[in-house]
Amino acid sequence: MSLPPPDIILGGLVRGSIYGLVALGYTMVYGILGMINFAHGEIFMIGMFTCVFALGLLSTLLGTTTLINLLLATLVAMIFSAAFGYANERIAYRRLRKAHILAPLTSAIGLSIILQNFVFLTVSKDNISFPRVYSDQLNKVAFTLGGVHFNYLQFTILGTSLVLMAALFFFIHRTRLGIAMRGTAQDQLMASLVGIPVNKIIALTFVLGSSLAAVAGVMVSMYQSVAGWNSGYIWGLKAFTAAVLGGIGNIPGAVLGGLIIGLTEDITCYYFGSNWRNSVVFLILMIVLIIRPRGLLGERVADKV
Amino acid sequence: MLRLSNIHAGYGYSEVLKGINLELNAGEIVTLLGANGSGKTTTLLTIAGVVRPQAGTITWNNAPLKATSPDEVLAHGICLSPEGRHIFPRLTVLENLLIGGYRLPASRNSAKLDRIYTYFPLLAERTKQLGGTLSGGEQQMLAIGRALMSEPKLLLLDEPSLGLAPQIVARIFEIIKAINREGIPILLVEQNAREALRIANRGYVLVTGQIVLSDTAENLLASDEVRRAYLGES
Ligand SMILES: Nc1ncnc2c1ncn2[C@@H]1O[C@H](COP(=O)(O)OP(=O)(O)OP(=O)(O)O)[C@@H](O)[C@H]1O
Ligand SMILES: [Mg+2]
């Protein structure tokens, strides 16, 4: 068995960077509230839909199809997803913060189903297509190596993901708000005693995670050319898996977990065919967790509290 | 400057404080003594806005303290350094200090840090160390330093000597005294009644949620009742 060719590796990294971007939202919310936001995949899906519709609107309104429209549409998608993420926290989670952990979790699952059905019933029952005029501008061969083509779209996705991850890391470690966010995640009572508006910081966490998920949604719909009301389910589940693999609550862990899962998936497809990808991904997850329950970069539970 | 009048407070349906009356004047150190579970921490948490009073009023500088959350109380200059220190374990020493001045302009940070480092030179050597890896004594110093970053007009300290070696305890009490000499009044909750009364102007004794005794520190140190119950003498 030979090593997988470079285009398979690149494909895996592209996929993995998207998982990582979505996983950050799971891990940030877990870090600050200790709950899994199962509706996060739907926030990603709302980003997909918003972008596709915004692109349609911008093309007709402006009469142009430049990449500037794509940037604007991505921005609109981020705002929409952030608004939904914020509303989710406000409506479905905030009142349950002091309740048993199963209460917000169940609320999140309910919300996920409601959002899927809402889009299914009111927006589109079928997959919608990403306008090719935009993706074709990026889907060009950048260079050829050993007979394999690499295109700009893949590098755009990988580059965007990495830049956003670096920006988030900078924000969390170097800014006043970022330190407040980490403080709130570590000790909520003390955070309120030093004057941090804890509710606003929690809301900000949802807004940030949701905006990242929106960008991921835009890139997936562009990469795969389609989006559907149920796209958030499998992408969300895999991203959640990535967060757990990396150590839930740990920011670099989410990125690492995402890349590992993305690579595993594409390499499995290459050797065994795409029917095997999900089984192998989850098999690896189970093995890692049995050996190391806290995930690759996770702290011991005792340290967390 | 601070007055609690007939404060009732507790958790859920249980009433812990059953009508507390307490007063603290400008420049004073007042200590609150009492056995485990008598409600000392609850008193401080109620002043700090963490626990809502069920009845009674808190007056701050002759006006009712209408704050309903800890950050609003802090905005009035009332700062609580809670029992157990609550150092942010995965923030560095410097980050722990900076977060203490969260709602204040960053331009004043370096002057405040200098002052804190003169009290606690040890902290200056460990700015990059994670809070969770400090020793108990170091964490207590950091907790007081962090409280000073908020430029408090009143400092509430809950058992700053808890679990510390005697020399460290002496050092902590010295610094509390020094902070007070700069004009910051302090409400000090302590198990270590002897040391607390030694630096305090006045004291209150709390028994199951009620003040049973209140006098100058000197008189309390001399009183038979206090000596027997809180100073371990017979
Ligand atoms: N979060 C809480 N929920 C319910 N009851 C509480 C809570 N915190 C404290 N209590 C109860 O309130 C009473 C007073 O507690 P408090 O912590 O104020 O006492 P304390 O005087 O500070 O004691 P210690 O010296 O042990 O610190 C105790 O009976 C305690 O069990
Ligand atoms: Mg106590």
Chain segment A39-68, per-residue pLDDT in tens: 999 999 999 999 999 999 999 999 888 999
B205, B223 contact by CB (below 8 A)? no
pLDDT grade for A298, boundaries at 50, 70 and 90: confident
Q: What's the pLDDT score for residue A304?
A: 41
Cβ <8 Å between B95 and A189: no
CA of A187 to the centre of ligand 1 (A): 19
Query: Over the stretch A267-286, which tens digit does the pLDDT of each residue have?
Result: 999 999 999 999 999 998 89
The three-state secondary structure class of B123 is helix
Sequence-ordered list of residues with C-beta below 8 angstroms from that of A213, at least 6 positions apart, any chain: A21, A22, A25, A40, A43, A44, A47, A81, A85
Q: What's the pLDDT score for residue B227?
A: 81
Give me A26's structure tokens. Answer: 């799971």
**Is the CB of B84 inside a 6 Å radius of any atom of ligand 1?**
no
> What value does the mean pLDDT take over residues A263-267?
95
Q: Does B102 reach chain A within 8 Å, measured CB to CB?
A: yes
Of A180, A193, A303, which is closest to B82 when you measure between CB atoms?
A: A193
> What value does the mean pLDDT take over residues A255-263?
96
Q: What's the pLDDT score for residue A285?
A: 86
In a domain, A302, yes or no: no
Whole-number Å distance between alpha carbons of B220 and A168: 56
Return the closest-CA partner of residue B216 out of B205, B207, B231.
B205
Domain of A212: which CATH number?
1.10.3470
Cβ <8 Å between A192 and B91: no
What's phi and psi for A191, nearest 5 deg?
-60, -45
Look at strands B53-60 and B2-11 and give their pairing: antiparallel
Structural domain boundaries, residue B123: 2-230
The three-state secondary structure class of B6 is strand
Query: Over the stretch B190-199, which tens digit does the pLDDT of each residue have?
Result: 988 889 999 9
Domain of B154: which CATH number?
3.40.50.300
**Tens-binned pLDDT, residue by residue, of chain B (234 aa):** 999 999 999 998 899 999 999 999 999 999 999 999 999 999 999 999 999 999 999 999 999 998 889 999 999 999 999 999 999 999 999 999 999 999 999 999 999 999 999 999 999 999 999 999 999 999 999 999 999 999 999 999 999 999 899 999 999 999 999 999 999 999 999 988 889 999 999 999 999 999 999 999 999 998 888 887 777 665
In a domain, A185, yes or no: yes
Whole-number Å distance between alpha carbons of A81 and A115: 12
Q: How many residues does chain A have?
A: 305
Cβ <8 Å between B70 and A193: yes
Sequence-ordered list of residues with C-beta below 8 angstroms from that of A240, at least 6 positions apart, any chain: A23, A26, A36, A38, A40, A41
Whole-number Å distance between alpha carbons of A261 and A16: 6
Cβ <8 Å between A183 and B75: no
In a domain, A303, yes or no: no
User: Could you tell me how many CB contacts below 8 A there are between chain A and chain B?
Assistant: 63
Q: Nearest-5° angle of CA A201, CA B141, CA A170?
A: 35
Sequence-ordered list of residues with C-beta below 8 angstroms from that of B135, at least 6 positions apart, any chain: none
Whole-number Å distance between alpha carbons of B151 and B10: 29
DSSP codes of every residue in A60-75: HHH----HHHHHHHHH
The atom of ligand 1 lying closest to the CA of B209 is 14
Structural domain boundaries, residue A131: 6-291
Return the closest-CA partner of residue B129 out of B95, B85, B163, B84.
B95
In a domain, A305, yes or no: no
Return the closest-CA partner of residue B92 out of A284, A182, A97.
A182
Q: What's the pLDDT score for residue A303?
A: 42
Of A182, A189, A195, which is closest to B103 when you measure between CB atoms?
A: A195
Whole-number Å distance between alpha carbons of A221 and B141: 53
DSSP codes of every residue in chain A: -PPPPHHHHHHHHHHHHHHHHHHHHHHHHHHHHS---TTHHHHHHHHHHHHHHHHHHHHHHH----HHHHHHHHHHHHHHHHHHHHHHIIIIIGGGTTS-THHHHHHHHHHHHHHHHHHHHHT-SS-EEPPHHHHHHH-SEEEEETTEEEEHHHHHHHHHHHHHHHHHHHHHHHSHHHHHHHHHHH-HHHHHHTT--HHHHHHHHHHHHHHHHHHHHHHHHHHHSEE-TTHHHHHHHHHHHHHHHH-TT-HHHHHHHHHHHHHHHHHHHHHH-GGGHHHHHHHHHHHHHHH-TT-SSPPPHHHH-
Residue A1 predicted with pLDDT over 80: no
Query: Over the stretch A15-39, which tens digit does the pLDDT of each residue have?
Result: 999 999 999 999 999 999 999 999 9
In chain B, the number of structural domains is 1
CA of A93 to the centre of ligand 2 (A): 31
> One-letter amino acid identity for B199?
I
> What value does the mean pLDDT take over residues A132-161?
88
User: Nearest CA of chain B to the CA of A297: how many Å?
Assistant: 14
Give me A49's structure tokens. Answer: 């839909």
Chain A, nearest residue to B151 by Cα: A194
In chain A, the number of structural domains is 1
Give the residue whose CA is nearest to atom 18 of ligand 1.
B39
The residues facing B204 across adjacent strands are: B32, B214
In a domain, A154, yes or no: yes
Of B69, B90, B99, which is closest to A194 when you measure between CB atoms?
A: B99
User: Nearest CA of chain A to the CA of B213: how many Å?
Assistant: 30
Give me B133's structure tokens. Answer: 């890896």
Measured distance between the N- and C-terminal CA atoms of chain B, rounded to whole angstroms:
37
Q: Does B52 reach chain A within 8 Å, measured CB to CB?
A: no
**Is the CB of B140 inside a 6 Å radius of any atom of ligand 1?**
no
In a domain, A299, yes or no: no
In a domain, A70, yes or no: yes
Q: Would you say the ipTM is above 0.90?
A: yes
Look at strands B78-81 and B154-158 and give their pairing: parallel
Q: What's the pLDDT score for residue B234?
A: 53
